Structure 1
Amino acid sequence: MSDQPFWAQEDVPRRPLRVEGGIQIHSTRGTVARTWWSARFIAVLESLGVGGRMARGRNYARSGQIVSCEVDAGAVVALVQGTRPTPYKVRIGIPAWGKQDWARAEQALADDAWYAATLLAGGMPPEIEELFAGLGLALFPASQRDLSMDCTCPDATVPCKHLAAVFYLLAERFDADPFEVLALRGRDRETLLANLRRRRGSTAAPEPVAEETARPLGELLDGFYAAGELDLTRFAPAEPEPGALLEQVPELPIEVRRRKVRDLLRPAYEQLAE
Protein backbone atom coordinates (compact mmCIF):
# COMPACT_ATOMS: atom_id res chain seq x y z
CA MET A 1 0.00 0.00 0.00
CA SER A 2 1.39 3.40 -0.96
CA ASP A 3 1.84 6.04 1.74
CA GLN A 4 0.73 8.75 -0.71
CA PRO A 5 -2.81 10.16 -0.49
CA PHE A 6 -5.22 9.01 -3.22
CA TRP A 7 -5.22 12.38 -5.05
CA ALA A 8 -1.46 12.23 -5.51
CA GLN A 9 -1.52 8.64 -6.68
CA GLU A 10 -3.19 9.68 -9.98
CA ASP A 11 0.18 10.91 -11.26
CA VAL A 12 1.91 7.60 -10.51
CA PRO A 13 2.44 5.83 -13.87
CA ARG A 14 0.51 2.55 -13.97
CA ARG A 15 0.12 0.05 -16.75
CA PRO A 16 -3.26 0.24 -18.52
CA LEU A 17 -5.42 -2.85 -18.66
CA ARG A 18 -4.84 -4.81 -21.84
CA VAL A 19 -7.59 -4.82 -24.50
CA GLU A 20 -8.47 -7.90 -26.51
CA GLY A 21 -9.08 -6.87 -30.13
CA GLY A 22 -8.38 -3.18 -29.52
CA ILE A 23 -7.80 -0.73 -32.38
CA GLN A 24 -4.07 -0.49 -32.99
CA ILE A 25 -2.28 1.92 -35.32
CA HIS A 26 0.28 0.49 -37.73
CA SER A 27 3.05 3.00 -36.99
CA THR A 28 5.50 1.42 -34.56
CA ARG A 29 7.97 4.29 -34.25
CA GLY A 30 8.63 7.86 -35.31
CA THR A 31 6.04 10.16 -36.87
CA VAL A 32 2.51 8.81 -37.09
CA ALA A 33 1.12 11.11 -39.80
CA ARG A 34 2.43 10.29 -43.30
CA THR A 35 0.38 12.69 -45.44
CA TRP A 36 0.20 16.46 -45.34
CA TRP A 37 -3.49 16.51 -44.46
CA SER A 38 -3.20 14.24 -41.40
CA ALA A 39 -0.08 16.12 -40.31
CA ARG A 40 -2.05 19.38 -40.41
CA PHE A 41 -4.69 17.90 -38.12
CA ILE A 42 -2.29 16.43 -35.58
CA ALA A 43 -0.11 19.56 -35.54
CA VAL A 44 -2.78 21.27 -33.42
CA LEU A 45 -2.41 18.59 -30.78
CA GLU A 46 1.37 18.62 -30.75
CA SER A 47 1.49 22.42 -30.61
CA LEU A 48 -0.15 22.36 -27.17
CA GLY A 49 3.06 21.08 -25.59
CA VAL A 50 1.68 18.89 -22.84
CA GLY A 51 4.87 16.91 -22.43
CA GLY A 52 4.89 13.19 -21.78
CA ARG A 53 1.17 12.78 -22.37
CA MET A 54 1.78 12.88 -26.10
CA ALA A 55 4.31 10.06 -25.90
CA ARG A 56 2.01 8.01 -23.65
CA GLY A 57 -0.87 8.70 -26.04
CA ARG A 58 1.16 7.31 -28.95
CA ASN A 59 1.98 4.24 -26.88
CA TYR A 60 -1.72 3.76 -26.12
CA ALA A 61 -2.54 3.96 -29.83
CA ARG A 62 0.28 1.58 -30.75
CA SER A 63 -0.60 -1.00 -28.13
CA GLY A 64 -4.29 -1.15 -29.07
CA GLN A 65 -5.83 0.54 -26.01
CA ILE A 66 -8.59 2.16 -28.09
CA VAL A 67 -11.72 0.03 -27.78
CA SER A 68 -13.85 1.86 -30.38
CA CYS A 69 -13.80 5.04 -32.43
CA GLU A 70 -16.61 6.61 -34.46
CA VAL A 71 -16.24 9.62 -36.78
CA ASP A 72 -19.36 11.61 -37.52
CA ALA A 73 -20.24 15.13 -38.64
CA GLY A 74 -18.74 17.47 -36.08
CA ALA A 75 -17.57 14.88 -33.58
CA VAL A 76 -15.31 11.92 -32.86
CA VAL A 77 -16.42 9.62 -30.02
CA ALA A 78 -14.13 6.88 -28.73
CA LEU A 79 -13.62 4.53 -25.81
CA VAL A 80 -10.08 4.19 -24.49
CA GLN A 81 -9.05 1.60 -21.93
CA GLY A 82 -6.92 3.01 -19.14
CA THR A 83 -5.91 1.68 -15.75
CA ARG A 84 -9.48 1.44 -14.45
CA PRO A 85 -11.89 -1.38 -15.35
CA THR A 86 -14.29 0.91 -17.23
CA PRO A 87 -12.94 2.47 -20.46
CA TYR A 88 -12.83 6.25 -20.60
CA LYS A 89 -15.13 8.05 -22.99
CA VAL A 90 -13.30 10.50 -25.25
CA ARG A 91 -14.97 13.15 -27.37
CA ILE A 92 -13.36 15.51 -29.89
CA GLY A 93 -15.63 18.14 -31.40
CA ILE A 94 -15.05 20.25 -34.49
CA PRO A 95 -17.71 22.56 -36.01
CA ALA A 96 -19.46 21.01 -39.00
CA TRP A 97 -20.29 23.24 -41.97
CA GLY A 98 -23.93 24.16 -42.60
CA LYS A 99 -25.97 23.35 -45.70
CA GLN A 100 -25.25 26.67 -47.40
CA ASP A 101 -21.52 26.36 -46.72
CA TRP A 102 -21.43 22.86 -48.18
CA ALA A 103 -23.48 23.96 -51.19
CA ARG A 104 -20.85 26.61 -51.99
CA ALA A 105 -18.00 24.15 -51.34
CA GLU A 106 -19.50 21.43 -53.54
CA GLN A 107 -20.13 23.87 -56.37
CA ALA A 108 -16.52 25.06 -56.21
CA LEU A 109 -15.28 21.45 -56.34
CA ALA A 110 -17.68 20.56 -59.17
CA ASP A 111 -16.50 23.50 -61.26
CA ASP A 112 -13.04 21.90 -61.46
CA ALA A 113 -13.09 18.15 -62.18
CA TRP A 114 -9.46 17.86 -61.04
CA TYR A 115 -10.46 18.12 -57.38
CA ALA A 116 -13.04 15.35 -57.67
CA ALA A 117 -10.62 13.15 -59.64
CA THR A 118 -7.89 13.59 -57.02
CA LEU A 119 -10.26 12.76 -54.17
CA LEU A 120 -11.50 9.68 -56.03
CA ALA A 121 -7.89 8.55 -56.40
CA GLY A 122 -7.50 8.65 -52.62
CA GLY A 123 -5.61 11.92 -52.37
CA MET A 124 -6.21 15.39 -51.03
CA PRO A 125 -4.94 18.17 -53.33
CA PRO A 126 -3.06 20.83 -51.29
CA GLU A 127 -4.90 23.54 -53.22
CA ILE A 128 -8.18 22.41 -51.66
CA GLU A 129 -7.32 24.36 -48.51
CA GLU A 130 -6.92 27.54 -50.55
CA LEU A 131 -10.15 26.83 -52.42
CA PHE A 132 -12.11 26.45 -49.16
CA ALA A 133 -10.34 29.46 -47.62
CA GLY A 134 -11.55 31.56 -50.54
CA LEU A 135 -15.08 30.63 -49.47
CA GLY A 136 -14.38 31.61 -45.86
CA LEU A 137 -14.16 27.95 -44.75
CA ALA A 138 -11.31 26.34 -42.79
CA LEU A 139 -10.81 22.65 -43.52
CA PHE A 140 -8.47 22.04 -40.57
CA PRO A 141 -8.57 23.47 -37.04
CA ALA A 142 -5.99 26.23 -36.65
CA SER A 143 -5.66 26.07 -32.86
CA GLN A 144 -7.11 24.54 -29.71
CA ARG A 145 -9.89 27.14 -29.86
CA ASP A 146 -11.25 25.40 -32.97
CA LEU A 147 -11.66 22.13 -31.07
CA SER A 148 -13.62 20.90 -28.07
CA MET A 149 -12.01 18.02 -26.18
CA ASP A 150 -13.32 15.98 -23.30
CA CYS A 151 -12.39 12.76 -21.51
CA THR A 152 -13.99 11.07 -18.51
CA CYS A 153 -10.60 10.25 -16.97
CA PRO A 154 -9.52 12.07 -13.76
CA ASP A 155 -6.61 13.87 -15.47
CA ALA A 156 -7.28 17.62 -15.35
CA THR A 157 -4.87 18.36 -18.20
CA VAL A 158 -6.41 18.67 -21.68
CA PRO A 159 -5.53 16.89 -23.83
CA CYS A 160 -4.81 13.83 -21.71
CA LYS A 161 -3.08 10.71 -22.98
CA HIS A 162 -6.44 9.15 -23.90
CA LEU A 163 -7.34 12.13 -26.10
CA ALA A 164 -3.84 12.03 -27.59
CA ALA A 165 -4.25 8.34 -28.45
CA VAL A 166 -7.44 9.09 -30.39
CA PHE A 167 -5.74 11.98 -32.24
CA TYR A 168 -2.99 9.66 -33.42
CA LEU A 169 -5.52 7.06 -34.50
CA LEU A 170 -7.36 9.75 -36.50
CA ALA A 171 -4.11 10.82 -38.14
CA GLU A 172 -3.55 7.30 -39.44
CA ARG A 173 -7.16 7.01 -40.58
CA PHE A 174 -6.87 10.30 -42.42
CA ASP A 175 -3.74 8.95 -44.13
CA ALA A 176 -5.76 6.04 -45.51
CA ASP A 177 -8.93 7.99 -46.34
CA PRO A 178 -8.94 11.79 -46.73
CA PHE A 179 -12.74 11.70 -46.92
CA GLU A 180 -12.72 11.18 -43.13
CA VAL A 181 -11.44 14.76 -42.82
CA LEU A 182 -14.40 15.98 -44.88
CA ALA A 183 -16.77 13.75 -42.90
CA LEU A 184 -15.80 15.65 -39.75
CA ARG A 185 -16.94 18.85 -41.47
CA GLY A 186 -20.25 17.25 -42.39
CA ARG A 187 -19.96 15.35 -45.69
CA ASP A 188 -19.34 11.62 -46.01
CA ARG A 189 -17.79 10.16 -49.16
CA GLU A 190 -20.99 8.86 -50.78
CA THR A 191 -22.97 12.04 -50.24
CA LEU A 192 -20.18 14.31 -51.43
CA LEU A 193 -19.45 12.37 -54.63
CA ALA A 194 -23.16 12.02 -55.43
CA ASN A 195 -23.61 15.78 -55.06
CA LEU A 196 -20.56 16.47 -57.22
CA ARG A 197 -21.88 14.21 -59.99
CA ARG A 198 -25.28 15.88 -59.79
CA ARG A 199 -23.79 19.36 -60.02
CA ARG A 200 -21.72 18.31 -63.02
CA GLY A 201 -24.82 16.81 -64.67
CA SER A 202 -23.49 13.28 -64.92
CA THR A 203 -25.86 11.38 -62.65
CA ALA A 204 -27.75 9.72 -65.52
CA ALA A 205 -26.35 6.30 -66.35
CA PRO A 206 -25.84 5.51 -70.05
CA GLU A 207 -28.53 3.43 -71.73
CA PRO A 208 -27.46 -0.21 -72.03
CA VAL A 209 -26.64 -1.36 -75.57
CA ALA A 210 -28.34 -4.58 -76.56
CA GLU A 211 -25.94 -7.24 -77.77
CA GLU A 212 -26.66 -8.74 -81.17
CA THR A 213 -26.44 -12.51 -81.39
CA ALA A 214 -23.70 -13.50 -83.84
CA ARG A 215 -24.94 -15.57 -86.82
CA PRO A 216 -22.85 -18.31 -88.45
CA LEU A 217 -21.02 -17.18 -91.59
CA GLY A 218 -22.69 -19.88 -93.70
CA GLU A 219 -26.08 -18.25 -93.18
CA LEU A 220 -24.83 -14.91 -94.51
CA LEU A 221 -23.14 -16.00 -97.76
CA ASP A 222 -26.26 -15.78 -99.98
CA GLY A 223 -26.79 -12.11 -99.28
CA PHE A 224 -23.22 -11.11 -98.55
CA TYR A 225 -22.76 -9.15 -101.81
CA ALA A 226 -26.32 -7.84 -102.06
CA ALA A 227 -26.90 -4.19 -101.37
CA GLY A 228 -30.36 -4.88 -99.97
CA GLU A 229 -32.21 -1.70 -99.02
CA LEU A 230 -29.05 0.29 -98.56
CA ASP A 231 -29.40 3.74 -100.14
CA LEU A 232 -26.11 4.13 -102.00
CA THR A 233 -26.97 7.66 -103.08
CA ARG A 234 -26.05 8.76 -99.57
CA PHE A 235 -22.44 7.96 -100.40
CA ALA A 236 -22.37 9.79 -103.75
CA PRO A 237 -19.87 12.63 -103.75
CA ALA A 238 -21.29 16.13 -103.72
CA GLU A 239 -21.28 17.91 -107.06
CA PRO A 240 -18.45 20.44 -107.17
CA GLU A 241 -19.06 24.06 -107.96
CA PRO A 242 -18.22 25.08 -111.56
CA GLY A 243 -14.61 26.11 -111.74
CA ALA A 244 -13.67 24.39 -108.46
CA LEU A 245 -10.97 22.41 -110.22
CA LEU A 246 -9.73 25.59 -111.85
CA GLU A 247 -9.11 27.07 -108.41
CA GLN A 248 -6.58 24.31 -107.73
CA VAL A 249 -4.43 25.32 -110.73
CA PRO A 250 -1.45 27.52 -109.74
CA GLU A 251 -1.69 31.08 -110.93
CA LEU A 252 0.12 31.48 -114.28
CA PRO A 253 2.63 34.33 -114.43
CA ILE A 254 1.23 35.59 -117.79
CA GLU A 255 -1.79 37.69 -118.74
CA VAL A 256 -3.83 38.01 -121.97
CA ARG A 257 -5.02 41.52 -122.64
CA ARG A 258 -4.39 42.32 -118.97
CA ARG A 259 -6.62 39.48 -117.84
CA LYS A 260 -5.48 36.46 -115.88
CA VAL A 261 -5.57 33.13 -117.67
CA ARG A 262 -7.74 31.63 -114.90
CA ASP A 263 -10.42 34.28 -115.48
CA LEU A 264 -10.34 33.66 -119.22
CA LEU A 265 -10.89 29.91 -118.74
CA ARG A 266 -13.69 30.21 -116.15
CA PRO A 267 -16.58 30.68 -118.70
CA ALA A 268 -15.43 27.58 -120.53
CA TYR A 269 -15.57 25.49 -117.32
CA GLU A 270 -19.05 26.78 -116.55
CA GLN A 271 -20.23 25.74 -120.07
CA LEU A 272 -18.74 22.26 -119.57
CA ALA A 273 -20.58 21.90 -116.24
CA GLU A 274 -23.91 22.62 -117.95
Structure 2
Amino acid sequence: MSEHWSGERSRYGKTIKVDHGIKAKSQRGDIATTWWSQRFLEVLESFGMGGRLTRGRNYARQGQVLSLSLSTSMVIALVQGSRPTPYKARIAIKSFTTPEWQRIEHALAGQALYAAKLLAGEMPRDIETLFAGLGLQLFPATSRELTMDCTCPDWEVPCKHLAAACYLLAESFDNDPFEILAWRGRSREDLLDRLRALRGTTRSTVTREEAPPLTQCLDTFWHRQTATGIPLGDPTAEVRPDAVLDQLDAVPITIRRDNLVDLLRPAYQALAGGDAEPE
Protein backbone atom coordinates (compact mmCIF):
# COMPACT_ATOMS: atom_id res chain seq x y z
CA MET A 1 0.00 0.00 0.00
CA SER A 2 1.43 3.39 -0.90
CA GLU A 3 2.09 6.24 1.57
CA HIS A 4 -0.31 8.34 -0.45
CA TRP A 5 -3.09 5.85 0.14
CA SER A 6 -2.28 5.61 3.89
CA GLY A 7 -2.51 9.35 4.17
CA GLU A 8 -5.86 9.44 2.38
CA ARG A 9 -7.23 6.72 4.65
CA SER A 10 -6.18 8.46 7.85
CA ARG A 11 -7.52 11.77 6.58
CA TYR A 12 -10.98 10.63 5.55
CA GLY A 13 -11.51 7.77 8.01
CA LYS A 14 -14.08 5.02 7.55
CA THR A 15 -16.22 4.29 4.52
CA ILE A 16 -19.27 6.54 4.25
CA LYS A 17 -22.36 4.34 4.40
CA VAL A 18 -25.02 4.71 1.72
CA ASP A 19 -28.77 4.27 2.21
CA HIS A 20 -29.97 4.07 -1.40
CA GLY A 21 -27.17 2.36 -3.29
CA ILE A 22 -27.41 -0.68 -5.55
CA LYS A 23 -27.22 -3.80 -3.40
CA ALA A 24 -26.28 -7.22 -4.71
CA LYS A 25 -29.26 -9.57 -4.54
CA SER A 26 -27.15 -12.35 -3.09
CA GLN A 27 -26.22 -11.57 0.51
CA ARG A 28 -24.20 -14.74 1.05
CA GLY A 29 -22.35 -17.32 -1.02
CA ASP A 30 -21.80 -16.76 -4.73
CA ILE A 31 -23.11 -13.56 -6.28
CA ALA A 32 -23.37 -14.81 -9.86
CA THR A 33 -26.04 -17.49 -10.39
CA THR A 34 -26.12 -18.23 -14.15
CA TRP A 35 -23.37 -20.02 -16.03
CA TRP A 36 -22.54 -17.01 -18.17
CA SER A 37 -22.13 -14.55 -15.26
CA GLN A 38 -20.11 -17.16 -13.36
CA ARG A 39 -17.99 -17.55 -16.48
CA PHE A 40 -17.35 -13.79 -16.51
CA LEU A 41 -16.09 -13.87 -12.92
CA GLU A 42 -14.04 -17.00 -13.62
CA VAL A 43 -12.34 -15.14 -16.48
CA LEU A 44 -11.40 -12.29 -14.14
CA GLU A 45 -10.09 -14.76 -11.58
CA SER A 46 -8.01 -16.46 -14.27
CA PHE A 47 -6.23 -13.13 -14.81
CA GLY A 48 -5.00 -13.28 -11.22
CA MET A 49 -7.70 -10.95 -9.89
CA GLY A 50 -9.48 -13.50 -7.68
CA GLY A 51 -7.99 -12.41 -4.37
CA ARG A 52 -8.58 -8.73 -5.08
CA LEU A 53 -12.11 -9.29 -6.32
CA THR A 54 -13.26 -10.52 -2.91
CA ARG A 55 -12.37 -7.12 -1.44
CA GLY A 56 -15.35 -5.61 -3.20
CA ARG A 57 -17.94 -8.25 -2.31
CA ASN A 58 -19.02 -6.53 0.90
CA TYR A 59 -19.16 -3.19 -0.92
CA ALA A 60 -21.49 -4.72 -3.49
CA ARG A 61 -23.70 -6.26 -0.80
CA GLN A 62 -23.79 -3.17 1.38
CA GLY A 63 -24.96 -0.96 -1.49
CA GLN A 64 -21.89 1.26 -1.77
CA VAL A 65 -22.32 1.40 -5.56
CA LEU A 66 -24.48 4.43 -6.30
CA SER A 67 -24.92 3.82 -10.03
CA LEU A 68 -23.86 1.39 -12.71
CA SER A 69 -24.21 2.12 -16.44
CA LEU A 70 -23.26 -0.03 -19.40
CA SER A 71 -22.66 1.15 -22.94
CA THR A 72 -20.62 -0.03 -25.89
CA SER A 73 -17.22 -1.10 -24.55
CA MET A 74 -17.62 0.74 -21.25
CA VAL A 75 -19.10 0.17 -17.80
CA ILE A 76 -19.04 3.14 -15.41
CA ALA A 77 -19.87 2.91 -11.72
CA LEU A 78 -19.99 5.56 -9.02
CA VAL A 79 -18.90 4.01 -5.74
CA GLN A 80 -19.04 5.67 -2.33
CA GLY A 81 -15.83 5.23 -0.37
CA SER A 82 -14.35 7.17 2.52
CA ARG A 83 -14.23 10.48 0.64
CA PRO A 84 -17.29 12.74 0.39
CA THR A 85 -17.09 12.58 -3.41
CA PRO A 86 -17.86 9.08 -4.84
CA TYR A 87 -15.15 7.39 -6.87
CA LYS A 88 -15.64 6.71 -10.57
CA ALA A 89 -14.76 3.13 -11.54
CA ARG A 90 -14.50 2.20 -15.22
CA ILE A 91 -14.33 -1.24 -16.82
CA ALA A 92 -13.65 -1.16 -20.56
CA ILE A 93 -13.50 -3.98 -23.08
CA LYS A 94 -12.70 -3.96 -26.77
CA SER A 95 -15.90 -4.08 -28.82
CA PHE A 96 -16.16 -6.20 -31.95
CA THR A 97 -15.62 -4.39 -35.22
CA THR A 98 -18.39 -3.90 -37.78
CA PRO A 99 -17.13 -6.74 -40.03
CA GLU A 100 -16.85 -9.02 -36.99
CA TRP A 101 -20.41 -8.23 -35.94
CA GLN A 102 -21.63 -8.93 -39.46
CA ARG A 103 -20.12 -12.41 -39.24
CA ILE A 104 -21.62 -12.92 -35.78
CA GLU A 105 -25.07 -11.81 -36.92
CA HIS A 106 -25.06 -14.15 -39.93
CA ALA A 107 -24.05 -17.05 -37.68
CA LEU A 108 -26.77 -16.23 -35.14
CA ALA A 109 -29.39 -15.75 -37.85
CA GLY A 110 -28.67 -19.26 -39.06
CA GLN A 111 -29.59 -20.63 -35.61
CA ALA A 112 -33.07 -19.43 -34.61
CA LEU A 113 -32.74 -21.20 -31.26
CA TYR A 114 -30.02 -18.78 -30.17
CA ALA A 115 -32.28 -15.75 -30.48
CA ALA A 116 -35.15 -17.66 -28.83
CA LYS A 117 -33.03 -18.54 -25.82
CA LEU A 118 -31.72 -15.00 -25.49
CA LEU A 119 -35.26 -13.63 -25.60
CA ALA A 120 -36.18 -16.11 -22.88
CA GLY A 121 -33.39 -14.67 -20.74
CA GLU A 122 -30.91 -17.50 -21.25
CA MET A 123 -27.49 -17.52 -22.86
CA PRO A 124 -27.13 -20.64 -25.05
CA ARG A 125 -24.61 -23.05 -23.56
CA ASP A 126 -22.68 -23.50 -26.79
CA ILE A 127 -22.59 -19.87 -27.87
CA GLU A 128 -18.88 -19.70 -27.04
CA THR A 129 -18.36 -22.47 -29.59
CA LEU A 130 -20.15 -20.35 -32.21
CA PHE A 131 -17.86 -17.41 -31.48
CA ALA A 132 -14.78 -19.64 -31.49
CA GLY A 133 -15.78 -20.92 -34.94
CA LEU A 134 -15.59 -17.32 -36.13
CA GLY A 135 -12.17 -16.85 -34.57
CA LEU A 136 -13.62 -14.65 -31.80
CA GLN A 137 -14.07 -14.78 -28.03
CA LEU A 138 -17.31 -13.70 -26.34
CA PHE A 139 -15.50 -13.27 -23.01
CA PRO A 140 -12.06 -11.62 -22.84
CA ALA A 141 -9.30 -14.11 -23.48
CA THR A 142 -6.50 -12.09 -21.88
CA SER A 143 -6.23 -9.26 -19.35
CA ARG A 144 -5.02 -7.01 -22.20
CA GLU A 145 -8.57 -6.96 -23.54
CA LEU A 146 -9.80 -5.32 -20.33
CA THR A 147 -8.98 -1.87 -19.02
CA MET A 148 -9.87 -0.98 -15.44
CA ASP A 149 -9.30 2.29 -13.63
CA CYS A 150 -10.70 4.11 -10.62
CA THR A 151 -10.33 7.65 -9.29
CA CYS A 152 -9.49 6.33 -5.82
CA PRO A 153 -5.83 6.53 -4.67
CA ASP A 154 -5.47 2.74 -4.36
CA TRP A 155 -3.00 1.50 -6.97
CA GLU A 156 -4.22 -2.11 -6.90
CA VAL A 157 -6.29 -3.26 -9.86
CA PRO A 158 -9.01 -4.08 -9.25
CA CYS A 159 -9.44 -1.96 -6.11
CA LYS A 160 -12.48 -2.73 -3.99
CA HIS A 161 -14.52 -0.11 -5.86
CA LEU A 162 -13.80 -1.77 -9.20
CA ALA A 163 -14.37 -5.20 -7.66
CA ALA A 164 -17.79 -4.14 -6.36
CA ALA A 165 -18.68 -2.91 -9.86
CA CYS A 166 -17.56 -6.28 -11.33
CA TYR A 167 -19.88 -8.19 -9.00
CA LEU A 168 -22.86 -5.99 -9.83
CA LEU A 169 -22.01 -6.24 -13.52
CA ALA A 170 -22.12 -10.04 -13.20
CA GLU A 171 -25.58 -9.74 -11.59
CA SER A 172 -26.76 -7.55 -14.45
CA PHE A 173 -25.60 -10.30 -16.83
CA ASP A 174 -27.71 -12.72 -14.75
CA ASN A 175 -30.79 -10.60 -15.37
CA ASP A 176 -30.21 -9.97 -19.08
CA PRO A 177 -27.63 -11.89 -21.15
CA PHE A 178 -28.08 -9.34 -23.95
CA GLU A 179 -25.97 -6.96 -21.83
CA ILE A 180 -22.87 -9.06 -22.52
CA LEU A 181 -23.46 -8.56 -26.24
CA ALA A 182 -24.23 -4.87 -25.72
CA TRP A 183 -20.91 -4.47 -23.90
CA ARG A 184 -19.28 -5.97 -26.99
CA GLY A 185 -20.95 -3.47 -29.30
CA ARG A 186 -24.54 -4.48 -30.14
CA SER A 187 -27.56 -3.34 -28.18
CA ARG A 188 -30.50 -5.69 -27.72
CA GLU A 189 -32.71 -3.73 -30.13
CA ASP A 190 -30.08 -3.38 -32.86
CA LEU A 191 -29.09 -7.04 -32.71
CA LEU A 192 -32.67 -8.32 -32.86
CA ASP A 193 -33.51 -5.96 -35.75
CA ARG A 194 -30.52 -7.23 -37.72
CA LEU A 195 -31.34 -10.87 -37.00
CA ARG A 196 -34.95 -10.37 -38.15
CA ALA A 197 -33.74 -8.67 -41.34
CA LEU A 198 -31.25 -11.44 -42.08
CA ARG A 199 -33.77 -14.21 -41.49
CA GLY A 200 -36.35 -12.39 -43.59
CA THR A 201 -33.86 -11.97 -46.44
CA THR A 202 -32.97 -15.65 -46.29
CA ARG A 203 -36.58 -16.67 -46.55
CA SER A 204 -37.39 -14.28 -49.38
CA THR A 205 -34.55 -15.60 -51.53
CA VAL A 206 -35.95 -19.16 -51.64
CA THR A 207 -37.00 -19.75 -55.22
CA ARG A 208 -40.32 -21.38 -55.86
CA GLU A 209 -41.55 -22.90 -59.09
CA GLU A 210 -44.76 -21.48 -60.40
CA ALA A 211 -47.42 -24.11 -59.79
CA PRO A 212 -49.11 -25.41 -62.96
CA PRO A 213 -52.92 -25.60 -63.20
CA LEU A 214 -54.46 -28.48 -61.23
CA THR A 215 -55.85 -30.06 -64.42
CA GLN A 216 -52.27 -30.57 -65.68
CA CYS A 217 -50.89 -32.33 -62.61
CA LEU A 218 -53.62 -34.61 -61.27
CA ASP A 219 -51.38 -37.68 -61.58
CA THR A 220 -48.54 -36.18 -59.58
CA PHE A 221 -50.33 -33.71 -57.33
CA TRP A 222 -49.95 -35.77 -54.15
CA HIS A 223 -46.24 -36.31 -54.78
CA ARG A 224 -45.19 -32.72 -55.30
CA GLN A 225 -42.67 -31.13 -52.96
CA THR A 226 -42.00 -27.67 -51.67
CA ALA A 227 -38.83 -25.76 -52.51
CA THR A 228 -37.31 -27.12 -49.29
CA GLY A 229 -37.91 -30.74 -50.33
CA ILE A 230 -40.63 -31.51 -47.77
CA PRO A 231 -43.35 -33.85 -49.16
CA LEU A 232 -46.83 -32.36 -49.33
CA GLY A 233 -49.55 -34.87 -48.52
CA ASP A 234 -47.99 -38.08 -49.94
CA PRO A 235 -50.50 -40.70 -48.69
CA THR A 236 -47.84 -43.43 -48.77
CA ALA A 237 -45.26 -41.52 -46.75
CA GLU A 238 -44.79 -42.23 -43.07
CA VAL A 239 -45.03 -38.92 -41.26
CA ARG A 240 -44.43 -38.42 -37.54
CA PRO A 241 -47.53 -37.05 -35.81
CA ASP A 242 -45.47 -34.28 -34.23
CA ALA A 243 -43.68 -33.30 -37.46
CA VAL A 244 -45.81 -30.17 -37.78
CA LEU A 245 -44.04 -28.79 -34.71
CA ASP A 246 -40.74 -28.89 -36.58
CA GLN A 247 -42.10 -26.39 -39.10
CA LEU A 248 -42.59 -23.72 -36.45
CA ASP A 249 -40.09 -21.01 -35.71
CA ALA A 250 -38.42 -21.43 -32.33
CA VAL A 251 -40.89 -20.51 -29.57
CA PRO A 252 -39.13 -18.52 -26.80
CA ILE A 253 -41.33 -20.00 -24.04
CA THR A 254 -40.04 -22.36 -21.38
CA ILE A 255 -41.92 -24.06 -18.56
CA ARG A 256 -39.67 -25.26 -15.76
CA ARG A 257 -36.69 -25.08 -18.17
CA ASP A 258 -38.45 -27.24 -20.80
CA ASN A 259 -39.24 -25.69 -24.17
CA LEU A 260 -42.96 -25.43 -24.97
CA VAL A 261 -42.57 -27.30 -28.28
CA ASP A 262 -40.96 -30.28 -26.53
CA LEU A 263 -43.81 -30.36 -24.01
CA LEU A 264 -46.37 -30.48 -26.84
CA ARG A 265 -44.82 -33.47 -28.64
CA PRO A 266 -46.25 -36.22 -26.35
CA ALA A 267 -49.75 -34.77 -26.82
CA TYR A 268 -49.49 -34.90 -30.62
CA GLN A 269 -48.15 -38.43 -30.49
CA ALA A 270 -50.89 -39.57 -28.12
CA LEU A 271 -53.66 -38.09 -30.28
CA ALA A 272 -52.31 -39.73 -33.43
CA GLY A 273 -52.01 -43.08 -31.70
CA GLY A 274 -55.59 -43.02 -30.55
CA ASP A 275 -54.60 -42.85 -26.91
CA ALA A 276 -56.84 -39.91 -26.24
CA GLU A 277 -60.18 -40.84 -24.70
CA PRO A 278 -63.33 -39.88 -26.67
CA GLU A 279 -65.40 -37.11 -25.27
* TM-score, length of structure 1 as denominator length: 0.68
Q: Who is 1:143 aligned against?
A: 142
The structural deviation recorded for 1:120 is 1.1
In structure 2, what residue type is equivalent to 1:8? Answer: S
1:5-154 equivalences under 5 Å are 8-10=6-8, 15-49=14-48, 53-154=52-153
Paired with 1:113 and 1:126, the residues of 2 have a C-alpha distance of 14
Q: Who is 2:205 aligned against?
A: none
SS of 1:47's equivalent?
helix
Paired with 1:141 and 1:48, the residues of 2 have a C-alpha distance of 10
Paired with 2:126 and 2:120, the residues of 1 have a C-alpha distance of 16
The structural deviation recorded for 1:45 is 2.7
Paired with 1:120 and 1:72, the residues of 2 have a C-alpha distance of 20
The 1:134–1:19 alpha-carbon spacing in structure 2 relative to 1, beyond 3 Å, is same
Paired with 2:173 and 2:4, the residues of 1 have a C-alpha distance of 39
Q: Who is 1:173 aligned against?
A: 172
How large is the Cα RMSD of the aligned pairs? 2.5
SS of 1:21's equivalent?
coil
Is the Cα contact below 8 Å between 2:76 and 2:89 reproduced in 1? yes
Paired with 2:169 and 2:118, the residues of 1 have a C-alpha distance of 18
The structural deviation recorded for 1:7 is 5.0
Paired with 1:52 and 1:109, the residues of 2 have a C-alpha distance of 36
1:155 aligns with 2:154: yes
Paired with 2:9 and 2:29, the residues of 1 have a C-alpha distance of 26
Paired with 1:18 and 1:11, the residues of 2 have a C-alpha distance of 15
Paired with 1:7 and 1:89, the residues of 2 have a C-alpha distance of 17
The 1:191–1:155 alpha-carbon spacing in structure 2 relative to 1, beyond 3 Å, is same
Is the Cα contact below 8 Å between 2:150 and 2:162 reproduced in 1? yes
Paired with 2:114 and 2:150, the residues of 1 have a C-alpha distance of 36
Paired with 2:101 and 2:120, the residues of 1 have a C-alpha distance of 21
Paired with 2:73 and 2:64, the residues of 1 have a C-alpha distance of 24
Q: Who is 1:187 aligned against?
A: 186
In structure 1, what residue type is equivalent to 2:68? Answer: C
Is the Cα contact below 8 Å between 1:45 and 1:167 reproduced in 2? no
In structure 1, what residue type is equivalent to 2:167? Answer: Y
Paired with 1:90 and 1:6, the residues of 2 have a C-alpha distance of 19
Cα shift readout 1:112-156 (whole Å, capped 9, x = no counterpart): 111111111110012111101111111001232220000000001
Is the Cα contact below 8 Å between 1:33 and 1:175 reproduced in 2? yes
The structure whose Rg is larger is 1
Q: Who is 2:274 aligned against?
A: none
The 1:15–1:48 alpha-carbon spacing in structure 2 relative to 1, beyond 3 Å, is farther
Q: Who is 2:260 aligned against?
A: none
In structure 2, what residue type is equivalent to 1:34? Answer: T
In structure 2, what residue type is equivalent to 1:139? Answer: L
Q: Extract unaligned runs of 5+ from structure 1.
A: 203-237, 239-274
Paired with 1:49 and 1:96, the residues of 2 have a C-alpha distance of 23
In structure 2, what residue type is equivalent to 1:104? Answer: R
SS of 1:41's equivalent?
helix
The number of residues matched between the two structures is 202
